[in-house]
């Protein structure tokens, strides 16, 4: 396999030593399905755009994506508070089952979705970043400046990328005295011509809210309030004294409005105004409003007009309130609340859109998709060639000629691919480094059509690599494995995902740390979700038994060890019978001897389906079987929750898994590229 990123490097398409974020990829075809990067937009993503792989995957899978602006990071608060807030807001979006896409311009590239390094760069640049509205986009890109996008700029980019929902703090408006100065925020004109929904807390009361709403009406923009009242909020206060045309009481109501706006081919956007929760509003809110009223009177009396009036009002309010009411605590709470509501709306919109499109894969409920948690690895094999010493062992201390091969690997990743190819459409939670290897793996998986939105790109951790050195006959001489990143998979975050999405079955591989595994199994036990444990190796088979025994017994219902791994597990439980008391269903992989299904008091041997004509590689065969089992087990637990399959049912499922393993043996890919639901055909 050759990674797209490596092909691009050889073709000279990546320049200026910039990080290989996803720009565009050729359409890939799997069977009868066709995938391209930006399936939601009506036209290709502009060449100047860099879509983060996680964002591109979510758009491709028609999952919910939430756009976030970057001016709040650069100009909203000082470093490091701005970085902490940006990360916290993105985390909230993820908690609600969506993918965050913070938008900014860095080094002449329009970034849709930022890495941790990108966010840090923007946060440290602070006020030196250029506030970028529609007017400024071309200039900032051409001069390769750091651009922090405003509401207007973010809407333009989000629309081009195919993102429908955008969360921010508040929108701009008509400034006081704007009827004379014509000082009207570009946010309002953008809302009149760009079909993106902006979820915000209204407009600040230093603006002319009445004229702001009138202007939006003139622009044809639908403005509605989220909650039990139609009163338009004034950012720091939930009430402005002015009404919108409707109130929306649920995310589904809001999503229906957005969907109808799109169905009518209206070119205008939608504003959904979310009042700040009473508990988060500043205690001196009435004092702020009184200060604004007094400042307006003073401005009129002293002749302050035009561009001078907004700074005058801000200064007056700051003096009256001591400045604290317009700062950090309230701003942060308000943006977080908007992010939570906006993400719920985006998730509801994605679900409604998928169902109406009749898309069988994406219309499957989140709770019907199996969850796989484990390692993603870049496998490198180098085989010595030519004259070597006895037994094919090379002379050390010098270089040798020989073929090198790169491929996607990692037990969790292989299992996820097999599950995907056999129709399971799994969630896959994993981690790669923010490096070339990580980008290559993400792009390759994305090109196959897999959902990579659950794979984190972590800074400070290299992507896991398994580097094998082979003798001239192809047998292993030695290998070096760097799997440290697997210990960075966050158990708390994964447990939150499980509780929020309640998958029908969860698979964990033995690469996970004991601490992470404990958190995952606790969450599954609480939610009565069955767990399948894939030991990975004899050494890692021990990891499960470092978890609290009661938690194992309450969650792990399946295990898929090979013969050696089963011996280790049985020894830890003292006997196989004791092990089956803890884990009631064990599917033992025995290579050319087939499979044995173990249940208490029952053993069922299943011989191989067929004789192999040509075994190319054993790598990934067992993982292919496990992924196929998960597809079938997920379907079983959806139709008959909390019930264990019988030994005969498991044997039927295992036969399908063996077909998948056989297909893998006859290819040099870990998972056969032609694997599909056909494995379940009798």
Bridge pairing between strands 585-589 and 595-599: antiparallel
Residue 466 counted as domain residue = yes
| pLDDT, mean over the chain | 83
Q: Is the Cα dihedral 66, 69, 70, 73 positive or negative?
A: negative
Residue 345 counted as domain residue = yes
Q: Are residues 295 and 392 in the same domain?
A: no
CATH number at residue 498: 3.40.1190.20
Residue 279 counted as domain residue = yes
Catalytic residue among 62, 63, 69, 540: 69
CA-CA distance, 570 to 566, in Å (whole number)?
6
* DSSP H or E run through 408: strand 404-409
CA-CA distance, 633 to 534, in Å (whole number)?
14
Q: Are residues 415 and 464 in the same domain?
A: yes
Q: Are residues 414 and 394 in the same domain?
A: yes
Query: 670, 664 in Cβ contact below 8 A?
Result: yes
CATH number at residue 175: 3.40.1790.10
- The residue count for the chain: 682
pLDDT of residue 392: 60
CA-CA distance, 195 to 263, in Å (whole number)?
11
CA gyration radius for the chain?
28
| Best mean pLDDT range from 234-243, 302-311, 631-640 | 234-243
Expressed as residue numbers, the domain containing 37 is 4-354
Query: 505, 637 in Cβ contact below 8 A?
Result: yes
Residue 360 counted as domain residue = no
pLDDT at 313 over 90: no
Q: Are residues 63 and 10 in the same domain?
A: yes
Q: How far is CA 600 from CA 525, 548, 649, in A?
A: 21, 22, 15
CA-CA distance, 131 to 401, in Å (whole number)?
54
Q: How far is CA 574 from CA 582, 590, 629, in A?
A: 12, 21, 27
pLDDT band at 552 (very low <50, low <70, confident <90, very high): very high
Q: Are residues 345 and 423 in the same domain?
A: no
Q: What is the mean pLDDT of residues 293-321?
A: 70
Verify cis geometry, omega within 30 degrees of 0, for the bond prior to 80: yes
Each residue's pLDDT tens digit, 411-465: 999 999 999 988 888 999 999 998 889 988 988 888 777 888 888 888 889 999 9
CA-CA distance, 194 to 207, in Å (whole number)?
23
Q: Are residues 321 and 404 in the same domain?
A: no
Residue 91 counted as domain residue = yes
CA-CA distance, 306 to 301, in Å (whole number)?
14
Residue 361 counted as domain residue = no
Q: Are residues 344 and 399 in the same domain?
A: no
pLDDT band at 236 (very low <50, low <70, confident <90, very high): confident
Domain boundary (327, 354, 381) is at 354
CA-CA distance, 138 to 142, in Å (whole number)?
6
Distant-in-sequence, close-in-space partners of 504: CB < 8 Å, separation ≥ 6: 367, 368, 369, 370, 529, 530, 633, 634, 637, 638, 641
Domain boundary (292, 325, 354) is at 354
Each residue's pLDDT tens digit, 170-207: 998 887 776 766 778 899 999 999 999 999 999 977 78
Domain boundary (330, 354, 378) is at 354
- Residue bearing the bigger pLDDT, 340 or 636: 340
Query: 443, 26 in Cβ contact below 8 A?
Result: no
pLDDT at 10 over 60: no
Query: 530, 524 in Cβ contact below 8 A?
Result: yes
Q: Are residues 215 and 319 in the same domain?
A: yes
Residue 164 counted as domain residue = yes
Query: How many structural domains is the chain composed of?
Result: 2
pTM, entire model: 0.54
Residue 69 among the catalytic residues:
yes
* DSSP H or E run through 180: helix 178-181
CA-CA distance, 115 to 96, in Å (whole number)?
20
Q: State the alpha helices, DSSP H only, in 363-513.
A: 411-421, 436-447, 491-501
Q: Are residues 373 and 345 in the same domain?
A: no
Segment among 119-128, 150-159, 205-214 with least mean pLDDT: 205-214
pLDDT at 681 over 50: yes
Residue 506 counted as domain residue = yes
Residue 204 among the catalytic residues:
yes
CA-CA distance, 401 to 415, in Å (whole number)?
33
pLDDT band at 39 (very low <50, low <70, confident <90, very high): very low
Q: Are residues 269 and 148 in the same domain?
A: yes
pLDDT of residue 456: 86
CA-CA distance, 154 to 572, in Å (whole number)?
56
Q: Are residues 256 and 380 in the same domain?
A: no
Query: 520, 491 in Cβ contact below 8 A?
Result: yes
Q: Are residues 55 and 154 in the same domain?
A: yes
Catalytic residue among 111, 204, 456, 540: 204
């Amino acid at each position: 396999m050759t990674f797209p990123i490596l092909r691009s490097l050889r073709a000279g398409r990546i320049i200026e030593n910039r990080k290989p974020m996803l720009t565009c990829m050729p359409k890939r075809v799997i069977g009868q399905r066709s995938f391209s990067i930006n399936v939601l937009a009506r036209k290709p993503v502009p060449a100047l755009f860099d879509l983060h792989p996680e964002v591109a995957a979510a758009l491709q899978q028609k999952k919910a994506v939430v756009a976030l602006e970057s001016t709040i990071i650069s100009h909203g608060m000082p470093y490091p508070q701005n970085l902490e807030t940006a990360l916290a807001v993105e985390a909230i979006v993820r908690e609600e089952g969506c993918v965050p896409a913070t938008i900014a311009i860095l080094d002449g590239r329009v970034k849709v979705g930022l890495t941790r390094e990108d966010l840090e760069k923007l946060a440290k640049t602070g006020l030196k970043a250029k506030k970028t509205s529609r007017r400024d986009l071309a200039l900032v890109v051409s001069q390769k400046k750091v651009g922090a996008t405003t509401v207007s700029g973010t809407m333009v980019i989000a629309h081009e990328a195919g993102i429908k929902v955008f969360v921010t703090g508040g929108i701009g408006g008509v400034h006081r005295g704007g009827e004379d100065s014509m000082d009207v925020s570009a946010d309002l004109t953008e809302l009149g011509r760009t079909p993106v929904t902006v979820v915000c807390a209204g407009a600040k009361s230093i603006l002319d809210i009445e004229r702001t709403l009138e202007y939006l009406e003139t622009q044809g923009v639908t403005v509605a309030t989220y909650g039990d009242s139609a009163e338009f909020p004034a950012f720091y206060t939930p009430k402005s004294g002015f009404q919108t045309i409707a109130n929306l009481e649920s995310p589904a109501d809001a999503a229906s409005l957005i969907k109808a706006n799109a169905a009518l081919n209206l070119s205008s956007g939608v504003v959904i105004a979310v009042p700040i929760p009473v508990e988060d509003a500043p205690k001196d809110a009435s004092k702020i409003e009184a200060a604004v009223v007094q400042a307006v009177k003073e401005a009129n009396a002293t002749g302050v007009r035009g561009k001078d009036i907004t700074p005058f009002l801000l200064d007056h309010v700051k003096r009256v309130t001591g400045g604290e009411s317009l700062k950090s605590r309230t701003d942060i709470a308000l943006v977080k609340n908007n992010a939570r509501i906006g993400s719920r709306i985006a998730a509801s919109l994605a679900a409604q859109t998928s169902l109406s499109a009749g898309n069988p894969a994406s219309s499957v409920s989140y709770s019907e998709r199996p969850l796989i948690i484990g390692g993603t690895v870049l496998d490198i094999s180098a085989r010595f060639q030519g004259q070597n010493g006895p037994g094919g062992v090379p002379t050390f201390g010098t270089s040798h000629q020989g073929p090198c091969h790169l491929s996607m690997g990692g037990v969790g990743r292989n299992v996820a691919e097999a599950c995907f190819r056999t129709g399971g459409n799994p969630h896959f939670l994993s981690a790669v480094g923010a490096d070339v290897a990580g980008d290559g793996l993400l792009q390759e998986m994305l090109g196959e059509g897999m959902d990579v939105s659950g794979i984190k790109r972590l800074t400070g951790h290299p992507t896991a690599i398994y580097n094998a050195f082979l003798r001239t006959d192809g047998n292993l001489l030695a290998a070096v494995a760097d799997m440290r990143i697997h210990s960075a998979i966050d158990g708390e975050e994964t447990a939150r995902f499980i509780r929020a999405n309640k998958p029908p079955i969860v698979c964990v591989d033995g690469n996970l740390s004991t601490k992470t595994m404990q958190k995952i199994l606790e969450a599954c036990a609480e939610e009565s979700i069955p767990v399948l444990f894939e030991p990975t190796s004899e050494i890692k088979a021990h990891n499960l038994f470092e978890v609290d025994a009661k938690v194992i017994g309450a969650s792990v219902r399946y295990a898929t060890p090979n013969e050696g791994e089963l011996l280790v597990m049985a020894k830890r439980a003292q006997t196989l019978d004791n092990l089956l008391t803890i884990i009631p269903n064990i599917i033992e992989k025995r290579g050319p001897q087939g499979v044995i299904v173990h249940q208490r008091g029952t053993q069922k041997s299943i011989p191989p389906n067929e004789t192999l004509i040509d075994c190319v590689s054993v790598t990934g065969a067992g993982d292919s079987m496990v992924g196929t089992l998960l597809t079938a087990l997920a379907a079983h637990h959806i139709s008959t929750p909390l019930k264990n399959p019988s030994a005969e049912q498991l044997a039927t499922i295992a036969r399908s898994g063996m077909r998948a393993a056989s297909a893998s043996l006859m290819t040099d890919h870990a998972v056969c590229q032609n694997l599909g639901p056909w494995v379940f055909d009798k």
